Structure 1
Amino acid sequence: MKRIHIKAFIGTAVTALFLAGCSDILDEQPRSIYTPDFFKTERGVLGGVTSMYGHLRYIYGQGYFYNASQTGTDEATYGQSADPNFKDLDLSGAGQITASSSRADVLWKPAFSNINTANGVIENAQAAGGISDAIVAEARFFRAFDYFMLVQTFGGVSLDLGAGELKFNTNPVRTSVRNTVPEVYTKAIFPDLLKAVNDLPATGRVTGGATKTLARLYLAKAYLTYGWWLENPNGIPTYPEAARTDPDGHNAQWYFQQAYDIATAAIADPGPFGLQATYYDVNLAQNDRNKEILLYADHTESSEYYNGSSLTYANGSDFDNFASWMMTWNYPDLRSYKADGTAVGSVQREAEQHLGRPWTRMCPPIGVITNTFSDKTRDSRYDGTFTTVYRGNWDKAKVTDAFLNNANNMPVRPGEAILTFLDEEPATPISYPREGEAGRSNIGAGTLPGRADYVISPEGISRIVYPGLWKIGPYRTDNAGGLGQPNAGSTRPFNIAKFSELYFIAAEAAVKGAATKANQTARDLINVIRARAGKWRWNNNGNAAKVEDNSAAMTSATPATITIDYILAERSREYYGEGYRWYDLVRTQKWAEVAGSYRICGDKKGRTRL
């Protein structure tokens, strides 16, 4: 086997989190190291388990892990302000990815640290006395969770951190033997998740805690992913080299069937979880921590201590939730004009879900708008994903002008559209005025007759100006009618696992040949998701109520035969920009086919095509 260098595993997570009495929240207390004796106490076990929830914040919402899971797919390319962190991962020749430049290190470090914490809890909890199997099952879930993330990202990884396989280690170790992919799955991931499914409760021990439904989701997804690995339809090499055979003697089809059976069992027995009535409500900030979310990396605006990050300014590190900055373009560049011709920033940086802090590191290719979300009328998911209308908010910056002049020298007022990204190419050609001409947009947008807002069509999306990502935008309740704290990390939870994915996992397993149950074919399962997507209660970017049910039209448009390509397209519509895409394309071995090319305008203002 290959030998690889790894960080010394002394203790575990930098921050330990302790349960506060009988509270249903997690009380955090700093701790730099754990020992076996500490894990033999109730305080140690609970502290170790609680730290496992905290370690999620080092990964999810972390902008560079977000980059690693999105850039270089068909969902994202590098933006105008990208540095090598983003150009390297684009895999388009703009940079060169190496072992030192891959930002998958953001996963590696906290995952292995947390695995060692889990080893300590599982190994020593019985000596503490009074620790239930359900609490230990939380540690088993997180150990499996981290190993599943690692094996998908790096291939085979180490099960021995220095004290033996799946043993708690307290000594510095600089090298480790790399286990094979089948060993990681069959020795660590599957046994832990099976135990977690059996021992975890239907309702979490604490708010956002691990549950039976969550464990079933990850067990089904791990079986599905391993089934693909065994099948290896495109003959892709694995590392370290290993035969594509299962130590337990099962073939890929067995695992696809297990994935289907477990996912549908979770759908039938959901506990307190289920789908939201509309797609809009899944990601609406005021509805965070809703019943569709099975796991999230939590944050709060009520306390910097519990948030793990400054509430006023973040620098993009540690516990900061700054993923939403990455695909936010520099909209504060937008200018409108006073009556005397003085330029005013008409859309100010604001801590609001449509806006937030811009970094312009990543952007959507044109195909996302024209192909992935081609149906923007019946399907609510485009509207529930992007910010496509940027509205004036200069009044919140204490600019007292009642109106400003915008496109076509027409007046606009606070709350009205300054810039609109059109759903499609307009019948009337967009006019792009010459430099210096009256009414010209300073960001290269155009005008249409009779409209006071500047416009950009899908073909004009560039690396510098593009629709923002509304679904993960920030939200604060302490803005007090002003702009709030847009330079802080988001205080929203970053969603990791959703109940809706059970339908996709079961459908994908069915496409791969799993025997299906009545009314739960691949098409039936996908249509549950599509029916929900057709239901509107609010037009997000129109900023108005829209009560409309297009579910019948959505489901009738679903192909009679579902393919993997269709499932991938549907997954992108459902989970666009949430960090799923790289793993979806790696699992299905579709990266080269799906993300091999894209269209995007240039990194100049205006319609300069690369």
Structure 2
Amino acid sequence: MKLNRFKKRLGTVVLTFSLMGCSDLLDEQPRSIYTPEYFKTEKGVIGGITSMYAHLRYFYGNGYFYAGIQSGTDESTWGQNVNVDAKRADFTNQGVFSGTDNPFAGLWGVFPNINTASGIIENAEAVGTVPPSLIAEARFFRAFDYFLLVQTFGGVPLDLGAGELKFNTSTVRTSVRNTVPEVYTKAIFPDLRKAIEDLPDVSRLTGTLNKTVARLFLSKAYLTYGWWLENPNNIPTYPETSRTDPDGHNPSWYFQQAYDIATTAIDEHPSSIGLEEYFYDVNEGSNDRNKEMLLYADHTQESDLYNGSPVNGFGSGASPGSFAGWFSTWNYTEIRSASSPGGSYSVSSVQREAVQPLGRPWTGIAPTHELIMNTFADKTNDSRYDGTFTTVYRGNWQRGGTSNEILYNANNLPVRMGDPILTFLNSDLPTITYPSGAGSNNVGAGTLPGRADWVVGPSAISRIVYPGLWKIGPYRTDNGNSLGQMNIEYTRPWPIAKFSELYFIAAEAAVKGANTKPGKNPRELINVIRARAGKWRWDNNNNVAKVQDNSSAMIAATPEVIDIDYILDERSREYYGEGVRWYDLARTQTWHSRGAKYTICGINKGDRTPVTYTRDIPLYAYLRPIPQSQLDGMEMTDAEKKAYQNPGYN
């Protein structure tokens, strides 16, 4: 089966939205099309603003974009069943990465949303009844989209046909790319500064913007641009330009601005925004839209319309549906148990279920051995490994129609509903006995004396058998006693920005030389996150309450001197699998070094031979290719199209 990719057109907006009604959530209502005249009305301006939240669904939660952005990093590599685009993005001799069918092509589709934002900004003042706080939301999203584009492709056009940052109402098939400094200083920074000025402290509705989220993105944009100006590893840029700031500032100025704005956001946030007490609570499905989640691509179980895709049935795997979680899920349904003592192992004891530890398998993105063994080395004090991965797969066969009260598993021992069927161990044990090939359990797992669950040690993690990603698994409230809607796109909001990132931004800026405030040097900032990670209220994979505070041990283990590598390690522990890693490595210019090698076993069940792969990541790949379909649609000469494309992809 082959899934559909990004829908090709984001741009003629086919939904309009109303802010009226008794709910405190955005209320989406259908409309055929936006017209220039419609934007000159209050209803049109407000509808356009709300549509901007919906456009996030076209890439956040898209499985192909997710696979491309995770694969090739120091965290992840391609899984056994992934498409060829993500394999190419891994840079391990799986084909040539190009502008044709690359997994980042859909990001180019944000330009219609940018144009919508420009239309709102131009027309709202003329309407006269739209408050500045709503116009600020359009400014934020225009800056947000340009920030995403400039990190991905380098310089991009500010003129969509009617002039720089002007609302365009006619078809234009030519384009000129602005430089990176122009995109930052003309579009991103001014829009975000104005958004901070005009946005409210507290969101007007659940999930809408506020000052804190705008401060987060301005501080991150300043941080990213500071790195770009400094360019410590001589990464090429395009269009070619000097690393000189048009406003006359040096990298240190931008690092200081990043620190100051991030720490202001930490100090001045309202009580409705902040860190959750436990890491587990940040990602638990029943606690979605919590106070730490600053921005997300929203989905819901309540309505096809408000979800952006069908809530029931069989998911097609296309935006705006959220199906990225499939890619990080291996096919655990192939685990086998026996229906009688000594019988054949023919029963699927862990079936597809719409619960957070499980979900629909696609086996597309796998964690590396280095991530499991080194990054998450402390699995005792630090709750984040347990709050990130599914490492214990429990029996659920009766929900799928198999009536047996007892099945027989490893060592021919009995298991009941809810018992562990397969466990990924925290460490390799010499007493594990593995079968030849897939073995009777059908996935190549081993046994330990006296244990009824099949087991897999860290060194046996492969491209086909690996821990799933609990944090982004499905959550529904209508399963009852059945397996639920286990094959549909997920109905949870996809995380984009969390309050916790402000601590990382400030710490990184301080490491880059920003002057710090009392109590907020890099180690102190990182230790706020690490102390929280040491607090347990629940043992996720053992499925029991666990009231334990390891904060002191976590703080004691933090190095006295924090560097960029340590911050990147901590970011991985905090945000693994959320589709942000490539941007972290690209910003810090460490992708080609940190991602240069990784270890994993092969694509066949029972392959437990770790192989270390070497990636040859060329420096030009720090810029992703412009989609070939975009170039093909331009009325430009072949030479002009070639010059438009990022170097290395022609």
TM above 0.5, yes or no, is: yes
State the match for 1:49 in structure 2: 49
Within 5 A, what are the aligned runs for 1:158-557? 158-271=157-270, 272-311=272-311, 312-339=313-340, 340-341=343-344, 343-426=346-429, 428-434=430-436, 440-557=440-557
Supply the distance in 2 between the matched residues of 1:601 and 1:73 (Cα, whole angstroms): 17
User: CA offsets per residue over residues 177-199 of structure 1, 9 Å max, x none?
Assistant: 00000000000000000000000
Alpha-carbon separation, structure 2, partners of 1:354 and 1:253: 44
Counterpart for residue 3 of structure 1: none
Amino acid at match of 1:226: Y
**Post-superposition offset of 1:215:** 0.2
- Whether the aligned pair in 2 keeps the contact of 1:328 and 1:356 (CA below 8 Å) is yes
- What whole-Å deviation, never above 9, does each CA across 1:184-225 have from its counterpart, x for those lacking one? 000000000000000000111111001000000000000000
Q: Could you say if the C-alpha distance between residues 406 and 327 of structure 1 is closer, same or farther in structure 2, counting changes exceeding 3 Å?
A: same
* C-alpha deviation, 1:40, in angstroms: 1.3
TM-score by length of 2: 0.90
CA contact (8 A) 1:57 1:319 kept: yes
Q: Deviations over 1:440-483 (max 9, x none)?
A: 32110110100100000000000000000000000110001110
Q: 2:436·2:444 contact (CA, 8 Å) conserved in 1?
A: no
Cα distance in 2 for partners of 1:590, 1:435 equals 38
Shift in alpha-carbon separation, 1:529–1:11, aligned structure 2, 3 A: closer
Contact persistence 2:78–2:364 (CA under 8 A): yes
- What amino acid is the match of 1:55? H
What SS is found at the alignment partner of 2:64?
Answer: helix
CA distance in 1, matches of 2:222, 2:83: 37
CA distance in 1, matches of 2:539, 2:91: 36
| Paired AA for residue 348 in structure 2 | G
2: CA distance between counterparts of 1:545 and 1:171?
A: 60
Say whether the 8 Å CA contact 2:10–2:58 is kept in structure 1: no
**Does structure 1 retain, via aligned residues, the 8 Å contact 2:263–2:506?**
yes
User: For 2:316 and 2:466, how far apart are their aligned partners in 1?
Assistant: 24
Verify the 8 A CA contact 2:72 2:90 in the aligned structure 1. Answer: yes
The 8 Å contact of residues 252 and 514 in structure 2, kept in 1 or not, is answered as yes
Deviations for 1:144-183, whole angstroms, at most 9, x for unmatched residues? Answer: 0000000000000010001110011111112210000000
For residues 72 and 159 of structure 2, the distance between their equivalents in structure 1, rounded to whole angstroms, comes to: 32
Judge conservation of contact 2:435–2:445 (CA < 8 Å) in 1: no
Q: Does 1:153 align with 2:152?
A: yes
Determine helix, strand or coil for the equivalent of 2:599.
Answer: coil
Note if contact 2:14-2:34 (Cα within 8 Å) is conserved in structure 1: no
Distance 1:413 1:238, change over 3 A: same
SS of residue in 2 equivalent to 1:344: strand
Deviation at 1:425, TM superposition (A): 1.1
Taking the aligned partners of 1:120 and 1:344, their CA distance within structure 2 comes to 59
Which residue identity does 1:518 align to in structure 2? P
Q: In structure 1, the residue corresponding to 2:37 is in which secondary structure?
A: helix
Letter in 1 for 2:356: Q
| Structure 1 residue 435: Cα displacement | 6.4
- Alignment check: 8 A CA contact 1:48 1:117 kept: yes
**What is the distance in 2 between the residues matched to 1:218 and 1:83?**
32
1:8–1:476 CA distance, 2 compared to 1 (3 A): closer
Partner residue in 1 for 2:620: none
> Secondary structure, in 3 states, of the residue corresponding to 2:329?
coil
Amino acid aligned to 1:299: H
Residue 591 of structure 1 aligns with an amino acid whose one-letter code is W
Alignment root-mean-square deviation, CA: 1.5
Deviation at 1:14, TM superposition (A): 3.4
Quote the Cα distance in structure 2 between the aligned partners of 1:10 and 1:258: 34
Distance apart, 1:68 and its partner CA: 2.5
Distance 1:213 1:435, change over 3 A: closer
TM-score normalised by the chain length of structure 1: 0.96
Closer, same or farther in 2 for the Cα pair 1:353/1:242, shift >3 Å? same
> How has the CA–CA distance of structure 1 residues 381 and 568 changed in structure 2, closer, same or farther, with 3 Å as cutoff?
same
**Number of residues paired by the alignment?**
600
Rounded to whole Å, the distance in 2 between the matches of 1:9 and 1:557 is 49
> Percent identity among equivalent residues?
64
CA distance in 2, matches of 1:81, 1:24: 41
- Alpha-carbon distance change, 402 to 559 in structure 1, aligned in 2, over 3 angstroms: same
Shift of 1:28: 1.6
Note if contact 2:358-2:470 (Cα within 8 Å) is conserved in structure 1: yes
CA–CA distance in 1 between the matches of 2:210 and 2:13?
A: 22
Are the counterparts in 1 of residues 328 and 362 from structure 2 also a CA contact under 8 Å? yes
Worse-superposed segment, 334-343 or 78-87: 334-343
Q: Post-superposition shift, 1:30?
A: 2.9
1:336–1:404 contact (8 Å) kept in structure 2:
yes
- Structure 2 stretches lacking a partner, 5+ long: 1-6, 612-650
Query: Structure 1 residues 76, 435: closer, same or farther in 2, change over 3 A?
Result: closer
- Aligned 8 A contact 1:9 1:172 in 2: no
